[in-house]
């Protein structure tokens, strides 16, 4: 029942907290973000994205709260220049989708239901400005690179 679900959620939270502790980091979220920023190994980055996607979907929004309380997370998440390979871009897009599912009732994502549960359980955690940035990212898709100005044709 409900008590079992709360116990499982608490255990997941403890397990995630141990990730940072075991790696001498102030927090697990800082550790994961740092790995995503500095690791030259795509497979390792993809594994960290997988962890973050799972953490974003946790009951009560604690994953979303921890992520956006971590300095640089928002900028990293919205930057299109941090991933170069197709799979990395897809993982990052999946992370944006996971945040939207939890905070925006699924708007801008893939609908308000995933896996048979309602999205938006953590609605209200993020400001409208952040949600709009995430929706824009989502609508553009995983491979959007923006318009690039051709300097030669401007001369």
Report yes or no on 39 lying in a domain. Answer: yes
* Phi, psi (deg, nearest 5) at residue 118: -70, 140
Is residue 110 assigned to a domain? no
Q: How many domains would you assign to the chain?
A: 1
Give domain status of residue 123, yes or no. yes
| pLDDT digit string (tens) for the chain, length 155 residues | 888 989 999 999 999 999 999 999 999 999 999 999 999 999 999 999 999 999 999 988 999 999 999 999 999 999 999 998 999 999 999 999 999 999 987 544 444 333 333 456 667 889 999 999 999 999 999 999 877 556 665 55
DSSP state for residue 8 in the 8-state scheme = H
Q: Is the residue at 154 inside a domain? A: no
3-state secondary structure at position 117: strand
20 Cβ neighbours under 8 A, 6+ residues apart: 26, 27, 28, 29, 30, 31
| Residue 111 falls inside a structural domain | no
DSSP class of residue 95 equals: H
Query: Is 15:21 a contact under the CB 8 Å cutoff?
Result: no
Q: What CA–CA distance (Å, rounded) separates 83 from 43?
A: 12
Whether 48 maps to a domain, the answer reads yes
CA 104, CA 107: separation in Å to the nearest integer? 6
Contacts of 29 (CB under 8 A, 6+ apart): 20, 66, 67, 69, 70, 73
pLDDT for the residue 119? 53
What's the domain range around 91?
A: 2-105+118-140
3-state secondary structure of 13: helix
> Does 122 map to a domain?
yes
Residue 89 lies in a domain: yes
């Amino acid at each position: 029942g409900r008590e079992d679900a709360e116990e499982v959620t608490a255990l997941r939270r403890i397990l995630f907290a141990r990730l940072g502790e075991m790696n001498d980091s102030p927090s697990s979220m800082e550790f994961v973000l740092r790995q995503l920023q500095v690791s030259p190994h795509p497979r390792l980055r993809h594994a960290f994205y997988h962890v973050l996607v799972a953490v974003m979907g946790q009951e009560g929004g604690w994953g979303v709260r921890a992520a956006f309380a971590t300095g640089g997370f928002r900028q990293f998440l919205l930057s299109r220049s941090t991933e170069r390979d197709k799979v990395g871009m897809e993982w990052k897009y999946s992370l944006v989708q996971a945040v939207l599912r939890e905070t925006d009732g699924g708007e801008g994502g893939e609908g308000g239901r995933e896996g048979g549960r309602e999205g938006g359980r953590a609605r209200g955690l993020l400001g409208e400005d952040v949600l709009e940035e995430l929706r824009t990212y989502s609508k553009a898709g995983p491979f959007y690179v923006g318009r690039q100005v051709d300097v030669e044709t401007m001369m």
